A = this chain, B = another copy of it.
């Protein structure tokens, strides 16, 4: 498939190799889709479940590698939960609404936010890479329960 071919090419460009393990990790992210957030542990378990033996150490190494290649992107969510998601080219920044009580998360887009981020970057002499808004709140169910 296209992406994996690109992966092989990109790796070779860095003197690195395309291994079944790397393939499987990236495949998994493609299978679950761009909006999904997976932790290292999630990736490891899902691969085991699919009978693809990959060590946890390799999962960590591969996540770091793919993120450094900008194929994955690390999320910026609260409190020690490192998660990654597919950073496909056609996908634009999306933002998160997180329920402070139950942890439920929703995603949304906003051109306004993008613009505000670009303005701030320009003002401080930064070259914009990405912007993420995290809105904390109480979801309907939790707000009702309080």
Contact = CB atoms under 8 A, between A and B. Distances in A.
Interface of A: 74, 76-80, 82, 95, 97, 99-100, 106, 108, 110, 112-113, 115-117, 119-121, 123-140, 143
One complex includes copies of this chain to the number of 2
A143 B116 contact: no
Given A79-B82, A112-B113, A125-B139, 8 more contacts: A76-B77, A80-B80, A108-B123, A117-B133, A124-B139, A127-B143, A130-B136, A134-B134
A130 B99 CA distance: 11
Main SS at interface, chain A: mixed
Contact of A120 (B97, B120, B123): B97
Contact of A126 (B113, B134, B135): B135
B129 A136 contact: yes
